[in-house]
Amino acid sequence: MPTLAIIGGSGFTKLEALEIVRREVVHTPYGEPSAPLTHGMFGGKKVVFLPRHGTAHTIPPHKVNYRANIWALKHIGVKRIVGVAAVGGIGPEMAPGVIAIPNQIIDYTYGRDHTYFENDLSHVTHIDFTEPYSESLRQRLLAAAESSNVTIVSHGVYGATQGPRLETAMEINRLEREGCSLVGMTGMPETALARELDLDYACCAVVANWAAGRGDGPITMMEIEKHIGIGMSRVVCLIAALVSSSDKDG
């Protein structure tokens, strides 16, 4: 079974160059995942791919069944997950088109099913979330970027907002004051749920636009789609290098 999964975000609903072997429908105690799991060969290694927003990109960030997605991947034997996400850039180094591998996250979401530990418990469980991302997987991504000559920002603080609307300029000012250098809508509870199930999880963030108030004029879908296209093509190179460097079980 594949031990590495890629969760694709906006602009990344399919993994180019993936030789599809089969699609698997997984039913979970938490409902249905965003789409069937796509098993395939990528760079000669087994991987599984799941589009976070559904195959046709119809599920908004606040309606994604994060619990079902992560549970399904754990159920089939996945051990490591790379979550690809389109984000807005807040910090000066996070210009559109940049790829960042964040090392911290701040959760501003609400009303989402954010934990597996809530019903029929034999004891209360608290996960250590001091370092939200798997450092070992982050380092593998950084090494993959170096080997594939993909320029990245090796750190960042991801501010996870509710969506589906974009933020106001003053909200972005607040996020910046609180330490965020990136803003997106899908980072939580995905990251925490992976930790609850003891999965290694890292985020590969593609900056699609300057966040509100950071660029010149309003944010347009034309701008977002342009930079997503550029960034995602480089993400494919990065993932290819990551897969090729995987050990025998990955």
Binding positions for substrate: 185, 209-211
| Strand partners for 20 | 40
What is the Cα 182 distance to its own chain's centre? Answer: 13
Among 147, 188, 175, 181, residue whose Cα is nearest residue 62:
188
Residues flagged as binding site for phosphate:
10, 52-53, 186
Q: How far apart are CA 86 and CA 73, in angstroms?
A: 21
Look up residue 33 and give its two tokens. 């995942």
Question: What Rg, from alpha-carbon coordinates, does the chain have?
Answer: 17
* Inter-residue contact 206 to 153 (CB < 8 Å): no
Residues flagged as binding site:
10, 52-53, 185-186, 209-211
Strand positions, DSSP E, 43-153: 45-51, 80-89, 99-100, 104-107, 152-153
> Measured between alpha carbons, how far is residue 61 from residues 10, 53, 78, 185, 219 in Å?
10, 7, 23, 6, 18
